Amino acid sequence: IAGITQAPTSQILAAGRRMTLRCTQDMRHNAMYWYRQDLGLGLRLIHYSNTAGTTGKGEVPDGYSVSRANTDDFPLTLASAVPSQTSVYFCASSDSGTSSYNEQFFGPGTRLTVL
Amino acid sequence: GQNIDQPTEMTATEGAIVQINCTYQTSGFNGLFWYQQHAGEAPTFLSYNVLDGLEEKGRFSSFLSRSKGYSYLLLKELQMKDSASYLCAATDSNYQLIWGAGTKLIIKP
């Protein structure tokens, strides 16, 4: 099935633990993104990648890291989780991250709770 | 700074028309997107405007005025399934999307 998958669907995590959220797309899109969505706030960009092998920081990158070893996968790692990282995390992809028409396709999201 | 403003919540009646407004302020501008997001689900693409004017797509239309930094999404013949949040996002000079907080639309029978 074409699209973006994310894993896990939800997770409860103890503060201080390390966690990797997985994201895979099969649309051969060049660009991929990680957002967090909190109640009352818009989607906020954490990190992005315009092409395999490159990554960039978004609006709220602190406490998160990413890698883009290939076109399909874009994992997000929380090195040492804190309660303020409780959120819904969406992975997205687009054909190009460097053009004005940047329609992004979203995965189903990961609901993360840090206690 | 960069900012997107849209109303937090709106209520409309089934079968009616509703207009959701969005104003934006970004460093550079390369187009405006509208997305729909049902509760507990991912956002899905509705429309894109880069030139001034109205783009119509079935029951949904989107308007853009670049000089005013303003857009609206018009939903006609409202159906219960249109109950969702509607997200406005502007593309800045780095081609990143800057998102509004979303407008929750409640449809009443």
Share of residues in chain A with pLDDT > 90 (%): 89
Whether the Cβ atoms of residue A23 and residue A29 lie closer than 8 Å to each other: no
CB of A40 within 8 Å of any CB in chain B? Answer: yes
With 70 as the cut, is the pLDDT of residue A52 above it?
A: yes
CB distance B87–A102 less than 8 Å? no
Q: List the single residue in A with minimal CA-CA distance to B30.
A: A100
With 90 as the cut, is the pLDDT of residue B79 above it?
A: yes
Whether the Cβ atoms of residue B81 and residue B67 lie closer than 8 Å to each other: no
CA–CA dist B53, A57 (Å, integer): 34
pLDDT class for A69, splitting at 50, 70, 90?
very high
The pLDDT mean for chain A works out to 95
Q: Each residue of B2-34: pLDDT tens digit?
A: 899 999 999 999 999 999 999 999 988 999 999
Q: Each residue of B30-54: pLDDT tens digit?
A: 999 999 999 999 999 999 999 999 9
Among B24, B36, B99, most A C-beta atoms within 10 A, so best to mutate, is: B99
CA–CA dist B11, B103 (Å, integer): 10
pLDDT class for B100, splitting at 50, 70, 90?
very high
Is the omega angle on the peptide bond into residue B7 within 30 degrees of 0, that is, cis? Answer: no
CB distance A48–B102 less than 8 Å? no
Query: Is the CA virtual torsion A11, A16, A17, A20 positive or negative?
Result: positive
pLDDT class for A6, splitting at 50, 70, 90?
very high
The whole-number pLDDT of residue A42 equals 85
The whole-number pLDDT of residue B38 equals 97
Structure token digits, residue B75: 């939903």
- The minimal CB distance from B43 to the residues A45, A102, A106 is found for A106
Q: Each residue of A96-107: pLDDT tens digit?
A: 878 878 899 999
CA–CA dist A78, A61 (Å, integer): 10
The whole-number pLDDT of residue B37 equals 97
